[in-house]
Amino acid sequence: MEVKRIAVLGAGLMGHGICQVAVQVGQYEVSLYDIEQRFLDNGLGMVRGSLDKFKTKGQLTEAQVNEIMNRIHPTLTLKDAVKNADLIVEVTPEIPDLKRQVFTNVDQHAPAHAVIASNTSSISITELASATKRPGQVCGMHFFNPPQLMKLVEVIRGALSSDETIDTVLEVAHKMGKETVLVKKDVPGFIVNRILFPALNEAVALYYEGIADRDDIDKAIMLGLNWPMGPLKLLDYIGADTTLAIGDVLTREVDPKFHVTAGLKQMVRAKLLGRKTGKGFYDWTQQK
């Protein structure tokens, strides 16, 4: 199926980045939906700010920036966002009940041919697909933060995802300039988070047990394992709440060995979520 128009549901940290990649690299028309005008304004502002950086570096002209922005169609109405979409990418918070409701609503208003993909990092694609009358047209399309820079997209096959659905999403991801991996079975955490979460969880445990300081933990992994960023700083980028949600799903649905360390739970209770709240393991309030 040829995709000409995409709807991105959610203008937040990931949503605005996916929107930008779709319009800037993929050359798609994109409807950007969120529930409040301030969320849309913030998302559009971040896209514009990112494009302005390309302009400053001489990689885009002012005319090109304006042309890209004109292909984004913001809306506060879900029905308007999806009514002409060939592909809908859901980028709402990692709350199963919320996502299921979004999928049910999208299914009612999207064209019959449209594919619905979720950017979830941990929730079952099969479960989300069951909230629709088109489970064969549902799959996972998991981008990484920030979508403008990270090259990988995990494409996840649900229990009923059709080959055409998977091929469509793979083609769109490639048109956006991404490398893809196919997750052949719908398992929590997919590939990356299944491997990454235990590392992040153990880094938090090392810190809260007083075994090493923050900077030494990050330095050890950067230099010892050649990571571009230490695990505690990476956790601040991902968000302690998102990391906790992934851990809870892995613990519940895969194996108790993934149990979340008490330190991570404490950070979420204290709203020390990382960049999104200004403080986590690092202080982000003075950084842009």
Told to judge if 142 belongs to the known catalytic residues of this protein, a careful annotator would answer yes
How large is the C-alpha radius of gyration of the chain?
19
- The CA distances from residue 204 to 42, 47, 79, 152, 267, in Å, are 31, 32, 42, 25, 10
**H or E element: which one contains 9?**
strand 5-9
Cα 145 from chain centroid? 7
The residues near 155 (Cβ < 8 Å, ≥ 6 apart) are 139, 140, 141, 142, 166, 169, 170, 173, 180, 181, 182, 183
How far is residue 195's CA from residue 154's CA, in Å, rounded to a whole number?
14
Told to judge if 154 belongs to the known catalytic residues of this protein, a careful annotator would answer yes
Location of structure tokens 């202080």: 283
Question: 121, 122, 161, 201: which one is catalytic?
Answer: 121
150: tokens are 């990270």
At 61, the amino acid letter reads T
How far is residue 17's CA from residue 40's CA, in Å, rounded to a whole number?
13
At 128, the amino acid letter reads L
238: tokens are 């991902």
Question: 29, 90, 94, 154: which one is catalytic?
Answer: 154
Q: Do 178 and 151 meet the contact criterion of CB atoms below 8 Å apart?
A: yes
- Sign for the pseudo-dihedral over CA of 89, 244, 288, 216: negative
Question: 29, 90, 119, 142: which one is catalytic?
Answer: 142
So which residues are the catalytic ones? 121, 142, 154, 193
